Amino acid sequence: MTSKSRGCDGYLFDCGVNFEPVLVSACLLGIPCRWHGRKPKKREKLIERLKKRYVLVPICPEQLGGMPTPRTGERLEGSGAEVLDGKLRIIVPETGQDVTRFHVNGAKYTLEIAKIVGARRAYLKGGSPSCDREGVTGEILKRRGIKVIRVP
């Protein structure tokens, strides 16, 4: 099947529309990747607005880092910057398990995706130890000059 015969729907690079790619937290798109595994509320208005200007690239750093869904729902007791600089660990309160490496790996893989697609901005879900402007992924993207917009 050629790119002409299949049209534009769902294809990022074959439709001749030169929209800028942006990363978007997958849960904002309604994908059930949150720690509890339940379907999140899709942010319809935000998504409709972004789709007019950008190609949306869904990312879930915690899944990219190797964490399952459902998974533990730990909090960041500091900043993503401290985690990346090796000054803070992310620990599951109930079990004491150190899950830092999953968050750091997810941030690194997300950064790789941003580089591959050429994203210069990211819309990340607030209140997450990975996403969020101050989360581990938010921080690694900011350090590489990618604009991070926190979605509350």
Footprint on this chain of ligand SF4 (rule: CB under 6 A) = 25-27, 33-34, 60-62, 125, 128, 130-131
In the DSSP assignment, the letter for residue 91 is B
Secondary element (H or E) of residue 72: none
For the bound state, the minimum distance from the C-beta of residue 81 to ligand SF4, rounded and expressed in Å, comes to 17
For the bound state, the minimum distance from the C-beta of residue 109 to ligand SF4, rounded and expressed in Å, comes to 12
Nearer to ligand SF4, 125 or 133 (CB): 125
Beta-bridged to residue 123, according to DSSP, are: 24, 149
Tokens of 99: 């899950």
For the bound state, the minimum distance from the C-beta of residue 53 to ligand SF4, rounded and expressed in Å, comes to 21
Question: Closest by alpha carbon to 13, among 152, 117, 133?
Answer: 117
For the bound state, the minimum distance from the C-beta of residue 26 to ligand SF4, rounded and expressed in Å, comes to 5
Nearer to ligand SF4, 56 or 131 (CB): 131
Kindly provide the residue ranges of all beta strands, DSSP E only, lying in 2-103, ordered along the sequence: 20-25, 54-59
The helix/strand/coil state of 135 is coil
Nearer to ligand SF4, 100 or 130 (CB): 130
What is the side-by-side strand order in the sheet with 121-125?
54-59, 20-25, 121-125, 147-151
Nearer to ligand SF4, 57 or 131 (CB): 131
Locus of tokens 């099947």: 1
For the bound state, the minimum distance from the C-beta of residue 67 to ligand SF4, rounded and expressed in Å, comes to 8
Query: For residue 10, which amino acid is it?
Result: G
Nearer to ligand SF4, 14 or 98 (CB): 98
